């Protein structure tokens, strides 16, 4: 009635919605149109609005449901149109730190990693054109703090406000990408370790075979020289053969070092002392156009290593540094105490033991190396030098020595920026043990019987001649089974068994075990071209076993046999007499 009175009084028509109720609830809507006639009468006309109002409420309810779903979705939902962001849900704040209202109307490419912008924009355009695009597209985004995160989008073509647009469902895949990268790194490390191990096994096998050959060459050359008069012209030729054999033996030692199978003598040492002792040698080694700098850290911690091998490491690195600076430069050898943590090893993609280390760094100002070259520098026989200028074993030898000492080595280099080779060796906490002085041993025999078991005929003959010349009675056999037959047939005492470890049909260890049954007092000397106590498939030797490493000389063979039988120390008078007779 208030509306009727107001319209009658003012003459202004009004619309007035009215709700109808049933059981206390709204049952329908109608809209009254109230107006005043010229005659002064007030008229009301109404229409039923129930269906329209219910449709509007249903629409609002659906919109609310979808808004809740979109705003609380676990992935970023973004609408892009004409290269701009038209809508984005609140999930973007969790992923990239932006507020949705800050992004509306902004170009979406501003938030894509520069390297991915072109690809993402191209996919957006192709999607709008209806062209086929990959269902899932990975790319990188830049967060509000400037960090980089990985994302993956699934794109759907829609209409937005009457124009084509793309609906993008974007998932944060950063954790997955990091896991994949970590897995790939581990896989790469495994492949590298397997590759280096395979090369090491090959190198060790090659060294073993060459050691047999070299033992025969060097030994026979020495035996021949011993029988030649000092003025015989053939002595010079035999000496060259012996020297060539020894150079070959040096190469096999380098191969064994790389494969981490070269016998070595570990002791507690100060790396500063090693560097200082090599100062003069290195200064003679480098050219005058190269400045040599030695930086030795005070109070350097001790390490456990083979001093000869450490000298070889410094020498090899210095030679490499010299050779990459033909026009001159600066070569720096530096030591330092460092603490390596888990983050350091993680950055270098290795599993290492955090703790105290001694660093040795050799730096040159040469041309540097790219990444592909750095990945190959430790491979045996790989070299960038001209043919004939190097063996390609320098850095592989360094690698083997460092690994034997429980350390790590990494190159740090860029093209045009020089190279630094850094070695990290574990700090030694042990008290240094004194080095025993070697006693001069008598190699002369007293007629003892030696049984030689060796499957290599030239090497077996060499041992026969060397031992026989030293005064031993020698029996020979080509393998373990033949050695047993020789032992059974020989009625006298056999004082010592000299046996190769790896032989066909029966190896040296089995032979020694079986021959001791009828001859319990027999001494045994093992010999092999494989490294000490790491004898291929034959298994490790007992720690108390006497071992002779190939290649050996007749002198070292007789020394080892005399040692096993019972070495007697020579007096100064005997040494003087022996030298005078020689």
Closest CA to 216 of 433, 46, 456: 456
> Quick count: other Cβ atoms within 10 Å of Cβ 234?
11
Q: What is the CATH number of the domain that holds 372?
A: 3.30.565.10
The neighbouring-strand residues paired with 14 are 34
DSSP 126-184: HHHTT----SSEEEEEE-TTS-EEEEEEEEEEEEETTEEEEEEEEEE-HHHHHHHHHHH
Pick from 64, 97, 115: which residue ends a domain? 64
For residues 295 and 277, membership in a common domain is answered with: yes
Closest CA to 355 of 255, 404, 425: 425
**Residue 141 has what pLDDT?**
92
Pick from 125, 153, 172: which residue ends a domain? 172
For residues 457 and 560, membership in a common domain is answered with: yes
Domain count for the chain: 5
Rounded-to-integer distance, Cα 539 and Cα 518, Å? 24
DSSP 520-578: TT-EEEEEESSPTT--GGG-PPPTT-EEEESS--HHHHHHHHHHHHH--BPPHHHHHHH
Q: Is the pTM of this model over 0.75?
A: no
Question: What is the DSSP code (8-state) at residue 269?
Answer: E
Q: pLDDT digits over 22-71, tens only?
A: 444 555 566 677 778 887 787 777 666 666 666 666 667 666 666 666 67
Q: Is the dihedral of CA 323, 328, 330, 333 positive or negative?
A: positive
Rounded-to-integer distance, Cα 261 and Cα 534, Å? 7
For residues 407 and 492, membership in a common domain is answered with: no
Rounded-to-integer distance, Cα 136 and Cα 170, Å? 10
Closest CA to 12 of 30, 31, 40, 34: 34
Identify whether 437 is part of a domain.
no
**Residue 516 has what pLDDT?**
92
Identify whether 436 is part of a domain.
no
Q: What is the CATH number of the domain that holds 119?
A: 3.30.450.20
Q: Please give the distance of CA 484 from its chain centroid, rounded to a whole number.
A: 48
Identify whether 301 is part of a domain.
yes
**Residue 487 has what pLDDT?**
95
**Residue 279 has what pLDDT?**
86
Half-sphere exposure of 571 (CA within 13 A, CB side): 3
Closest CA to 30 of 11, 13, 50, 15: 50
Identify whether 327 is part of a domain.
yes
Q: pLDDT digits over 108-146, tens only?
A: 889 999 999 888 888 888 877 777 776 678 899 999 888
Identify whether 441 is part of a domain.
no
Pick from 12, 41, 64: which residue ends a domain? 64
**Residue 316 has what pLDDT?**
85
For residues 248 and 285, membership in a common domain is answered with: no
SS3 470: coil
Q: Which residues, given as ranges, of the chain have pLDDT below 70?
A: 1, 16-31, 46-59, 61-70, 73, 134-135, 188-190, 192-208, 250-265, 376, 380-394, 430-446, 530-544, 567-582
The neighbouring-strand residues paired with 541 are none
Q: What is the domain extent for residue 147?
A: 73-172
Phi, psi of 112 (to 5 degrees): -100, 145
The neighbouring-strand residues paired with 175 are none
Identify whether 177 is part of a domain.
no
For residues 150 and 250, membership in a common domain is answered with: no
Beta strands in 378-442 (DSSP E): 408-413, 419-426
For residues 271 and 389, membership in a common domain is answered with: yes
> Quick count: other Cβ atoms within 10 Å of Cβ 285?
15
């Amino acid at each position: 009635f208030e509306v009727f009175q107001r319209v009658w009084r003012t003459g202004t028509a009004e619309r007035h919605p009215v709700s109808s109720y049933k059981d206390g609830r709204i049952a329908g809507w109608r809209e009254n149109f109230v107006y005043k006639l010229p005659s002064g009468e007030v008229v009301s006309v109404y229409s039923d609005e129930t269906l329209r109002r219910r449709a509007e409420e249903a629409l609002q309810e659906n919109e609310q449901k979808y808004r809740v779903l979109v705003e609380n979705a676990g992935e970023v939902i973004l609408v892009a149109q004409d290269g701009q962001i038209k809508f984005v849900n609140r999930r973007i704040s969790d992923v990239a730190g932006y507020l949705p209202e800050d992004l509306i109307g902004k170009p979406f490419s501003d938030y894509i990693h520069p390297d991915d912008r072109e690809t993402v924009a191209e996919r957006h355009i192709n999607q709008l054109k209806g062209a086929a695009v990959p269902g899932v597209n990975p790319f990188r985004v830049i967060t509000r703090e400037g960090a980089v995160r990985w994302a993956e989008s699934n794109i759907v073509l829609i209409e937005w406000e009457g124009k084509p647009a793309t609906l993008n469902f974007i998932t944060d895949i950063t954790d997955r990408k990091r896991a994949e990268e970590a897995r790939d790194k581990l896989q790469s490390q495994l492949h590298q370790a397997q590759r280096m191990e395979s090369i090491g096994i090959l190198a060790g096998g090659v060294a073993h075979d060459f050691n047999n050959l070299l033992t025969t060459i060097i030994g026979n050359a020495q035996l021949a020289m011993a029988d030649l008069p000092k003025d015989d012209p053939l002595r010079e030729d035999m000496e060259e053969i012996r020297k060539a054999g020894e150079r070959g033996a040096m190469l096999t030692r380098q191969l064994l070092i790389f494969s981490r199978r070269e016998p070595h003598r570990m002791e507690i040492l100060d790396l500063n002392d090693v560097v200082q002792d090599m100062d003069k040698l290195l200064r003679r080694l480098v050219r005058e156009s190269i400045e040599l700098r030695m930086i030795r850290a005070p109070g350097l911690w001790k390490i456990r290593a083979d001093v000869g091998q450490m000298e070889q490491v410094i020498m090899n690195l210095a030679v490499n540094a010299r050779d990459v600076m033909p026009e001159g430069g600066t070569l720096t050898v530096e030591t330092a105490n460092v603490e390596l943590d888990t983050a350091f090893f993680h950055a270098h993609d290795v599993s290492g033991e955090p703790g105290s280390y001694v660093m040795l760094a050799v730096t040159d100002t040469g041309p540097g190396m790219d990444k592909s070259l750095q990945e190959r520098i430790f491979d045996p026989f790989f070299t960038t030098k001209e043919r004939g200028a190097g063996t390609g074993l320098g850095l592989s030898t360094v690698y083997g020595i460092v690994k034997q000492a429980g350390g790590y080595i990494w190159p740090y280099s860029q093209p045009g920026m020089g190279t630094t080779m850094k070695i990290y060796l574990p700090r030694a906490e042990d008290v240094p043990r004194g080095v025993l002085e070697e006693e001069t041993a008598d190699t002369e025999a007293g007629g003892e019987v030696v049984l030689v078991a060796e499957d290599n005929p030239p090497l077996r003959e060499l041992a026969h001649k060397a031992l026989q010349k030293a005064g031993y009675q020698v029996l020979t056999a080509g393998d373990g089974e033949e050695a047993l037959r020789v032992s059974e047939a020989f009625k006298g005492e056999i004082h010592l068994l000299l046996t190769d470890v790896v032989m066909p049909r029966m190896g040296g260890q089995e032979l020694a075990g079986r021959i001791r049954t009828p001859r319990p007092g027999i001494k045994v000397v093992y010999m092999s071209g494989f490294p000490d106590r790491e004898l291929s498939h034959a298994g490790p030797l007992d720690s108390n076993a006497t071992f002779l490493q190939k290649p050996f000389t007749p002198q070292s063979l007789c020394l080892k046999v005399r040692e096993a039988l019972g070495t007697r120390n020579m007096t100064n008078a005997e040494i003087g007499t022996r030298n005078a007779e020689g």
